């Protein structure tokens, strides 16, 4: 069985302790990864600090070239990465390949960006300039749903801004991040990127470490709160992309057959394990029954299986803990509504849950009010648009949402009233490296992607000159 090492100070390091990595389609350990502890963390922070002191002096062009080399190396090893991604995460091989391609798109996009200085005053008496300077050692902490993509889209802007990095993948999906470390160890200067896998115990030590200047975290809201508490003593910069319970509002002028596939895809992408997936579907009563029927047909026809099987359209839930959580939400749906697709858990190895749709359910049910983060979708009927907007906004989360209508003016009016960082119209989960991603409420802090996301990895510095 292959063991994947850590990357510290440009060297691949194996430790005495390892963590077994489970294939969620079989529930069997298929590989191990070396486990980092406090000793390895201290070595990584020290190496990253030394590398930063040199790297911050490089030009943007030199950093861009590094990102292009990383992108090329990823593409050269796309098959290796995608196969490992399916084995560790469970998603279909097709989706794994798409994730690798998206990672490269993000890396290449940031490789085209620059950090421009600005002169805001220039008179005979005074000149004032603003500059965006790197922060220092940045820690990226990744989740298990899109482990490779999220690793890369933290790494790329951090490096372009001139920082050094410590990357800690989720304990159940560290393999593709470890592979990335092996691929780039001869591209980046020693110590510039360090990769530490663990069993879930290292995160709190990373977030409290005084030698780390910033935390970029993607994951749950409860963990995000813990990170804020842990990092408060050193006033670290934070970017937190946390939970979401995205609502979609479907108005009664739509053709249910025309939108069903897009709604279905937005709800069940990656078996529902997506922060910006459509998780609550509010449908106006005139088209409610027909849209429910169309979605149920799609769900009942979907093939859920091992991601390595070319016949599979959807993979398993990634880990046992989340599998049990999703099963509990399905029981809430059975109690509070009517299951019209899925709902029956197969008795076989693997964390397989059929795509499940629940109708005739209402706000107040945990399935509606909370985030299942799995392949189960509640559909709620509404009469008046004001009612749907109020329900959609009645959530502690504010990641994304969508409006569906043939009348774009009407849809825009609804979108303007939705309290989320992103609102889509006649689409959902559409994103890109050039589009800022900005959570609100308890869905997080800061911005990812785009110019605004790049600036999150910098500090604003003012040079104020007297010419007198």
**Beta-ladder partners of 337:** none
CA–CA separation, 42 and 40 (whole Å): 5
Enzyme catalytic residues: 241, 275
Listed in sequence order, the DSSP H helices in 77-202 are 78-89, 93-110, 147-160, 175-184
DSSP code of 442? Answer: T
3-state secondary structure the chain: CCEECEEECCEEECCCCEEEEEECCCCEEEEEEECCCHHHHHHHHHHHHHHHHHHCCCCHHHHHHHHHHHHHHHHHCHHHHHHHHHHHHCCCHHHHHHHHHHHHHHHHHHCCCCCCCEEEEECCCEEEEEEEEECCEEEEECCCCCHHHHHHHHHHHHHHCCCEEEEECCCCCCHHHHHHHHHHCCCCCCCCEEECCCCCCCHHHHHHCCCCCEEEEECCHHHHHHHHHHHHHHCCEEEEECCCCCEEEECCCCCHHHHHHHHHHHHHHHHHCCCCCCCEEEEEHHHHHHHHHHHHHHHHHCCECCCCCCCCCECCCCCHHHHHHHHHHHHHHHHHCEEEECCCCCCCCCCCCCCEEEECCCECEHHHHCCCCCCEEEEEEECCHHHHHHHHHCCCEECEEEEECCCHHHHHHHHCCCCCCEEEECCCCCCCCCCCECCEECCEECCECHHHHHHCCEEEEEEEEECC
**Beta-ladder partners of 445:** 240
| Lateral strand order in the sheet of 280-284 | 338-341, 356-359, 376-382, 280-284, 247-250, 400-404, 422-425
| C-alpha distances out from residue 63 to 9, 320, 363, Å | 18, 40, 49
- 353 close to 374: Cβ distance less than 8 angstroms: yes
Kind of pairing between the strands at 440-441 and 28-34: unpaired
């Amino acid at each position: 069985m292959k063991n994947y090492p850590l990357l510290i100070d440009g060297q691949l390091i194996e430790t005495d302790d390892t963590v077994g990595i489970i294939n969620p389609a079989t529930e069997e350990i298929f590989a191990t990864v070396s486990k980092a502890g406090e000793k390895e963390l201290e070595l990584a922070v020290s190496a990253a600090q030394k590398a930063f002191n040199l790297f911050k002096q490089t030009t943007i062009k030199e950093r861009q070239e590094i990102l292009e080399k990383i992108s090329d190396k990823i593409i050269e090893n796309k098959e290796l990465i995608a196969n490992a991604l399916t084995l560790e995460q469970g998603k279909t091989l097709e989706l794994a390949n798409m994730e690798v391609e998206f990672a490269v798109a993000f890396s290449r996009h940031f490789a085209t960006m620059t950090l421009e200085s600005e002169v805001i005053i220039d008179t005979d008496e005074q000149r004032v300039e603003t500059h965006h300077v790197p922060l220092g050692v940045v820690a990226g902490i990744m989740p298990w749903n899109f482990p490779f993509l999220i690793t890369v889209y933290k790494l790329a802007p951090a490096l372009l801004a001139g920082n050094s990095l410590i990357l800690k993948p989720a304990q159940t999906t560290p393999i593709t991040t470890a592979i990335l470390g092996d691929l780039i160890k001869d591209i980046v200067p020693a110590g510039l990127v360090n990769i530490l896998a663990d069993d879930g115990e290292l995160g709190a030590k990373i977030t409290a470490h005084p030698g780390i200047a910033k935390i970029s975290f993607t994951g749950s809201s409860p963990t995000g709160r813990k990170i804020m508490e842990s990092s408060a003593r050193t006033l670290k910069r934070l970017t937190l992309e946390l939970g979401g319970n995205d609502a979609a509002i479907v108005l009664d002028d739509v053709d249910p057959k025309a939108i069903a596939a897009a709604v279905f895809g937005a709800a069940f992408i990656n078996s529902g394990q997506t922060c910006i997936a459509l998780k609550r579907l509010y449908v106006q009563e005139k088209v409610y029954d027909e849209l429910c029927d169309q979605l149920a047909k799609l769900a009942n026809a979907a093939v859920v299986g091992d991601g390595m099987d070319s016949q599979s359209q959807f993979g398993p839930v990634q880990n046992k803990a989340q599998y049990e959580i999703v099963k509990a939400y399905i029981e809430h749906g059975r109690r509070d509504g009517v299951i019209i697709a899925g709902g029956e858990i197969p008795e076989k190895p693997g964390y397989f849950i059929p795509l499940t749709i629940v109708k005739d359910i209402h706000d107040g049910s945990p399935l509606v009010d909370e985030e299942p983060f799995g392949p189960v979708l509640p559909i709620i009927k509404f009469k008046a648009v004001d009612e749907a907007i109020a329900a959609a906004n009645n959530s502690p989360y504010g990641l994304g949402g969508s409006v569906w209508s043939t009348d774009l003016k009407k849809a825009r009016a609804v979108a303007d009233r939705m309290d989320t960082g992103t609102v889509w119209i006649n689409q959902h989960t559409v994103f890109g490296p050039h589009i800022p991603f900005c959570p609100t409420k308890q869905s997080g802090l800061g911005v990812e992607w785009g110019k605004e996301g790049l600036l999150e990895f910098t500090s604003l510095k003012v040079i104020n000159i007297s010419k007198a």
